[in-house]
């Protein structure tokens, strides 16, 4: 466990050095300040508009950060040749995988918390606010979402270079977000192979829409039932475990060649 935590800490140090979080924070703050300066829909609806766009920006920024951080961890070690002394130590490939995933997940989760705090401050300056319980639920479910995304990025990067792993993770997560909620309607009109293919996709891809509580935050709805939140988090844990296991199966017998991931 100590070795996994040490690897996760190295991901933190690398993030601070690359300054990715600071760039995303600056972009998010610039967008929110611009939204506060505009009053496109009148004073009565300005706060809801700020909440909706601000939450969307927070989700997009955390999505970009999660994919970029997770997908480059293993290829970066291989490209720089640091994977050889790392595995020469008493560190297993499973520990490398878990350490890299844990670091990427915690970094993006912490950044997302900062995004939420920044947005809450902006909304408060506008005279609005979020329900504390709903906001906590939204962040916890967002953490579950990020766990799945970072696990996907790590899994793809076990056999692909960083750019390809990032692109494939973007495609899969975007498809899961946009297509999955519509599959039940599409199945009703599909037949034969198409229907079977849709059902395979429906059960194979993660249901990312389950982790979205933005509407409750925007419109001030009551908190989600605790049991539903808990079940969603368990589902996120299971999907994360599945993708990390697939990544380990692809990584455990991989042969490394210096410069192969350039």
Contacts of the segment 175-182: beta carbons below 8 A, 24+ positions apart: 175/205, 176/205, 176/206, 176/207, 176/208, 177/208, 177/209, 179/205, 180/205, 180/206, 180/207, 180/208, 180/209, 181/209
Tell me if 236 sits within 8 A of 145, measured CB to CB.
Answer: yes
Mean pLDDT of 193-219: 84
Mean pLDDT of 207-214: 90
Asked whether the predicted pLDDT for residue 61 surpasses 90, the reply is: no
Residue 155 confidence (pLDDT) above 90:
yes
Least confident of 47-61, 188-202, 210-224: 188-202
Calculate mean pLDDT across residues 141-147. 95
């Amino acid at each position: 466990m100590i070795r996994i935590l040490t690897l996760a800490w190295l991901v933190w140090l690398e993030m601070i050095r690359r300054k990715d979080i600071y760039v995303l924070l600056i972009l998010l703050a610039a967008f929110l300040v611009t939204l506060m300066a505009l009053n496109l829909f009148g004073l009565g609806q300005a706060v809801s508009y700020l909440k909706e766009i601000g939450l969307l920006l927070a989700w997009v920024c955390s999505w970009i950060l999660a994919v970029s951080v997770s997908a480059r961890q293993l290829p970066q070690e291989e490209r720089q040749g640091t994977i050889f002394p790392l595995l020469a130590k008493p560190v297993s490939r499973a520990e490398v995988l878990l350490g890299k995933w844990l670091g990427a997940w915690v970094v993006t989760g912490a950044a997302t918390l900062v995004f939420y705090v920044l947005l809450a401050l902006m909304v408060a300056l506008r005279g609005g606010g979020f329900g504390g319980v709903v906001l906590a639920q939204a962040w916890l479910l967002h953490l579950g979402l990020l766990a799945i995304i970072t696990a996907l990025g790590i899994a793809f990067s076990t056999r692909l270079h960083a750019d390809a792993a990032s692109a494939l993770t973007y495609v899969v997560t975007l498809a899961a977000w946009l297509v999955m909620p519509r599959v039940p309607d599409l199945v009703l009109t599909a037949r034969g192979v198409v229907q079977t293919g849709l059902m395979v996709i429906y059960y194979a891809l993660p249901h990312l829409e389950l982790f979205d509580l933005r509407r409750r935050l925007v419109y001030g709805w009551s908190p989600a039932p605790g049991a539903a939140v808990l079940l969603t988090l368990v589902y996120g844990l299971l999907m994360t475990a599945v993708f990390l296991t697939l990544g380990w199966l692809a990584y455990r017998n991989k042969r490394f060649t210096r410069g192969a991931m350039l």
